[in-house]
Amino acid sequence: MTVAPAIILVSPQLGENIGAAARVMANFALSDLRLVAPRDGWPNPAAEAMAAKTLSGPVEARVFDTVDAAVADLSYLLAATARPRGFDKPAMGPRQAMGALRARAEAGAAAGVLFGAEAMGLLNEDVARADAILTYPVSPDWSSLNLAQAVALAAYEWGLGEGEAPHAGFDRLSPPASKAEIAELAEHFETELEASGFFWPPEKAQSMRLSVRAAVGRWALTAQDVSTLRGMIKALARGTRRKPKT
Piece of 24-32, 33-41, 123-131, 178-186 that binds a copy of itself (CB under 8 A): 24-32
Q: Tell me: does residue 240 bind a copy of itself (CB under 8 A).
A: yes
Number of neighbours of residue 125 by Cβ within 10 angstroms: 12
The helix/strand count (H/E) of the chain reads as 9, 7
- Listed in sequence order, the DSSP H helices in 91-176 are 94-106, 124-128, 147-161
Longest CA span, the chain:
70
| Span 80-139, contacts to a copy of itself by CB under 8 A | 83-84, 86, 88-91, 93-95, 133, 135-139
Q: Annotate each residue in 38-77 with x if it binds a copy of itself (CB under 8 A) or - if it does not, as one string.
A: ------------x-x-x--xx-------------------
Nearer to a copy of itself, 4 or 111 (CB): 4
State the nearest-atom distance from the C-beta of 66 to a copy of itself, in Å.
26
The amino acid at residue 178 is S
The residues in 156-195 that bind a copy of itself, with binding defined as CB under 8 A, are 156, 159-160, 164-165, 167-174, 189, 192-193, 195
DSSP label at residue 89: -
Are the beta carbons of 24 and 130 closer than 8 angstroms? no
Rule CB under 8 A: which of 144-163 touch a copy of itself? Answer: 144-146, 148-149, 152-153, 156, 159-160
Residue nearer to a copy of itself on the CB measure, 70 or 132: 132
Preceding omega of 244 cis (within 30 degrees of 0): no
66 versus 207: smaller Cβ distance to a copy of itself: 207
Nearer to a copy of itself, 70 or 102 (CB): 102
Instruction: Say how many residues touch a copy of itself, by CB under 8 A.
Output: 87
d(CA 128, CA 169): 25
Q: Is 4 helix (H, G, I), strand (E, B) or coil?
A: coil
Phi/psi at 134 (5° precision): -100, 120
